[in-house]
Amino acid sequence: MRMHTHRRPVAHLWIAALATGACFALGPGAFAQSHTQAQPIAIVDVRLDTAKDAPRKTLVLRDGRIEAVLELGATLPTGLRAIEGKGRLAVPAFIDAFTQAGTAAPAIKAERDRPTSTRSDVQIDMREANRKGIAPAFRAADVFELAAEKAKSYRESGFGWLVSAPAGELLAGSSVLATSRDAAARDQIVLPLAYSHGEFRASGAGYPGTAMGYHSQLRQFFLDATRQRELELRFAQRRPGLRPPFDADLAAVRPLLLRERRLMCTADSDLAIERWIKLADEQGVDVAIAGGREAHVLGALLAARKIPVVLTLEWGEEPKDPHEKEAAKKKAEEEKKPESADAAQEPSPAEKTPEKTDDKPAPDAPAADEAQPTKDEAKQWDYEEPLGVREEKRRLWLENRDCAMKLSTQNVAFAFGSAGASPSDLLKRVRTLVEKGLPREVALNALCVAPAQWLGLGERMGAISPGKDATFALWTDDPLSKDAQVAWMFVDGFDTEFEVKKADAPTGKPKEGLSAAGRWEVTTEGRGGKRTSQMTLEMSAEGTVTGTWTSKNPRDDSEVTSDVTGHLSGTKLTLEVKLTFGEMEITQSMSGELSADAWSGESTTRRPGGENASPFSASRKPKQENQR
C-alpha cells in the first residue's frame, strides 16, 4: 500500500484512543459485539467506485452513522479505532425486501364466535366470525428471532437489512424491518411494522378452499372492518346501536383501509397479480407484489399505477435447450473445417493397402442370434416430449427469468427478496441477471435503494455519505461479479471481518503415497436422516479426481448415476457432484481430510429454495494396502 507522509500512522490512532480512555476488545468480531453501542472507527484506504484507480477515501464511523468521508491522508480525529481497508470497494448494504427468515407462521383460530346451534333453523348467512386464513393482527416483530448463524450468512453476502414477513395465509400479518447485526431482536428491529401481507392461501380444513372462496372471505372481512369502525364511532357518540365487539384483527386492517400502510401480496402469475389489483381497487387498498415471476406481462399496468414489485427470482428448474445438441454439432463441424495439408494429402481408402484378415471369426464374437440389444434400442421406449412442447417450456422459462430486464424497460419499480431461499442464493441469481443483461446500476438500485425508499428510509439507507447509517460492506471486487467476496461488514457501525477465500480451484499436489482412487461408500446426514451412496474414483498424479456417484432417488428408490469432479491437495479432498432427480437438480459439495481408507468432513447441499450443511463420512471398499 502506498504511504503518505502527511497521514497519521495507524499506531498513533491506537495510542490516541487509549489516551482518551477508549476500551477495545482483542478481536474484530468480539469488539463489535462486546458493547451495546458501536465504537468510533476510521476505515482507511477504501474505494467508492469499481474502477481500480478510483480515488482512495477514509470513512469515519461514529454512533452507528457515517460521520465523514475524507480524502486518504487527511488528518483524523482522535479516539478512533483504525481498520485498514486495503483499497477494497465499499458498497451500501443490500436489503432483502421479502423473506421468511426469522419469522414463524401465525397460528390461526378460525372460529371467533360461538358455533351455530344444530337445533335451530337453517342459517341463511355465513358465520359472523369465520377467520380461516385471517390473521392481520399477527406481528412478526413480536416473534422475530434471527439465529446467529443465519444473521452471519446475511452479512457474508453483503445484506445489512431484511424485511421478515409471515406468509401462507390470506392475511398473514405484518412484517418487520430488521438488521443482520449479531444482537438481540430488540437491537435488530428497525421498523416493527413494515407491510401487511396477503396470499391466496389459507391453512386448515373447511371453507374457504378455492379461489372464489378466498376472494369472498377477503371481501367479507374488509366489509366487516369498515362496519366495525362505524359501530365504534356510533358507540363513542352514544348513538343507538349495539356495543361493538373487541376484535384485534378488524382493527389491524384499518391502516390498510386508510392507505397508511401497503398490503404486499404474494403472487407469481399474471392472473393472480391482476386479481389482487382488482380486489385492492374495490376495497381502497394500496398494494405491492411479492414473487412477480410473470409481472412483466402486466408491466404497463404496474408502471401506470406505481405498484412496486419484489422479485423473488424463483425460476424453477431450467429446461434444457432442445436444440443444444444441434448447436454443439454445428460448432464442432465448423471447428473441423480448416484441415491440415497432411490430412488433405492422405490417400483415399481405395488407395490404401488392405490389411491381412483372417477368415475365422473372433473367438469371443457372439453369434447373430445372441446379439444383445443396443443402447439406442433400449431407449426406444423412453418418452420424450414433442419438440414444440420443449421449445415452449424453454421460452417461458427464459421469459420469466428475464422479468427484471423487462420491468426495467417498462419503468416498474422493483426490488429483490429471497423468500424461502438463502441470501447467497439470492445474490447468485442477481449476478446471473447482470450477466444476462440487467444493467449493474439497476440491480444495485433494486438491492440498496428502492426498498429503502418504499419504507420511507431513503434518507438513511442506500448510499455511503455523511449522515447515512453505517451499514455497508467492503468487497474484494464488484459485488455483482462472480468471484467477489465480503471482507468486512459493518451493520449499525458494528463490524465483522470475514476470511477472504481464494476463488481458484485447489492446485496443490497430493501427499506422497496418498490416493483417492478406488470404490467408496459414503454416508451423509440430512433432513431425512442418514443416506448411503457409492462412488468410484480415479485420480491423476497431479491430484485431479474424476469418477461416478451412484445414489438412490428419494422418490422411488431408483438408482441415479452422476459425474464426480474434484481435487486432492495434500490430505484435503474436495469433490462436487450434481444430482438430478426428475426436474430437480441438487449440487453436493464435500470437503474433508483423506487418510489411507477413510474420508470425512462437511457436505454442503444446494437445492432450489436454499442450502444446508451436514457432516459426512466415507470408507474405501475394499481397503487398499498400497496407495498411490
pLDDT band at 575 (very low <50, low <70, confident <90, very high): very high
User: Which domains, and CATH codes, for the chain?
Assistant: 10-93+462-497 (2.30.40.10), 518-620 (2.40.128.120)
pLDDT above 50 (res 601):
yes
Over residues 1-19, mean pLDDT: 39
Residues of the chain above pLDDT 90, percent: 57
What span, in angstroms and rounded, lies between the C-alpha atoms of 290 and 94? 17
Q: Is the pLDDT of residue 219 over 80?
A: yes
pLDDT band at residue 5 under the 50/70/90 scheme: very low
Torsion from C-alpha of 428, 430, 431, 436, nearest 10 degrees: 130
Residue 458, pLDDT score: 94
Q: What H or E segment, with its residue span, contains residue 342?
A: helix 341-344
Helix 270-283 and helix 211-236, axial crossing angle in degrees, nearest 10: 20
> In degrees, to the nearest 5, what angle opens at C-alpha 389 toward C-alphas 387 and 392?
110
Q: What is the 3-state secondary structure (H, E, C) of 44-73?
A: EEEECCCCCCCCEEEEEEECCEEEEEEECC
Rg (CA), the chain: 31
CA distance 492 to 184: 14
Q: Are strands 81-92 and 94-99 parallel, antiparallel or unpaired?
A: unpaired
Q: How far apart are CA 413 and CA 390, in angstroms?
A: 32
Distance between CA atoms of residues 19 and 190, nearest Å: 34
81-92 and 41-47: which strand pairing?
A: parallel
Q: Pick from 428, 435, 433: which is nearest to 404 by CA?
A: 433
Residue owning grid cell 454439432: 329
CA dist 142 and 145 (Å) reads 9
Q: What would the pLDDT profile of 520-551 be if each residue is shown by its tens digit?
A: 999 987 656 788 899 999 999 889 999 998 98
From the list 562, 565, 575, the residue with the least C-alpha distance to 601 is 575
Residue 589 · residue 604 · CB < 8 Å? yes
Pairing of strands 287-291, 309-311: parallel
The candidate with the shortest Cα–Cα distance to 531, out of 561, 553, 564, is 553
Residue 204 is predicted with a pLDDT of 86
Dist. CA 195–CA 307, nearest whole Å:
14
Higher pLDDT, 607 or 108: 108
Contacts of 107 (CB under 8 A, 6+ apart): none
pLDDT tens sequence across 13-70: 333 333 333 333 333 343 334 446 788 999 999 999 998 889 999 999 999 999 999 9
605 phi, psi to nearest 5 deg: -105, 120
The pLDDT of residue 555 is 65
Distance between CA atoms of residues 367 and 362, nearest Å: 11
Q: Please provide the DSSP assignment of 57-125 as one string.
A: EEEEEETTEEEEEEETTPPPPSS-EEEEEEEEEEEEPEEEEEE-TT-PPP----B-SPPPPTTSPPPSS
Between the CA of residue 138 and those of 16, 261, 264, 290, 584, what are the distances in Å?
A: 50, 15, 15, 19, 34
Distance between CA atoms of residues 464 and 477, nearest Å: 17
| pLDDT of 422 strictly over 50 | yes
Contacts for 413 with CB less than 8 Å, ≥ 6 apart: 306, 308, 309, 450, 454
Cβ neighbourhood burial of 83 (10 Å; 0-12, 13-18, 19+): buried
Angle at 216 between CA 215 and CA 219, to 5 degrees: 85
pLDDT of 314 > 80? The answer is yes
pLDDT in tens, 104-162: 888 877 766 666 665 665 554 445 678 899 999 999 999 999 999 999 999 999 999 99
Task: Tell me which of 20-24, 178-182, 289-293, 480-484 is least confident.
Answer: 20-24
For the stretch 76-102, pLDDT in tens is 988 899 999 999 999 999 999 999 999
Dmax over Cα atoms in the chain, in whole Å? 117
Spatial CA neighbour of 1 closest among 90, 85, 91: 85
Judged against a pLDDT cut of 70, whether residue 353 lies above it is answered with: no
Backbone dihedral angles phi then psi of residue 101, each to the nearest 5 degrees: -60, 130
- Specify whether the CB–CB gap between 87 and 56 falls below 8 A: yes
pLDDT, mean of residues 362-366: 53
Among the residue ranges 43-57, 348-362, 449-463, 494-508, the one predicted with the least confidence is 348-362
pTM over 0.85, yes/no: no
Q: Are 111 and 176 in contact (CB under 8 A)?
A: no
Does 11 have pLDDT greater than 50? no
Q: Which of 559, 312, 275, 495 is nearest to 414 (CA)?
A: 312
| pLDDT value, residue 626 | 44
Phi, psi for residue 623 in degrees, rounded to 5? -65, 150
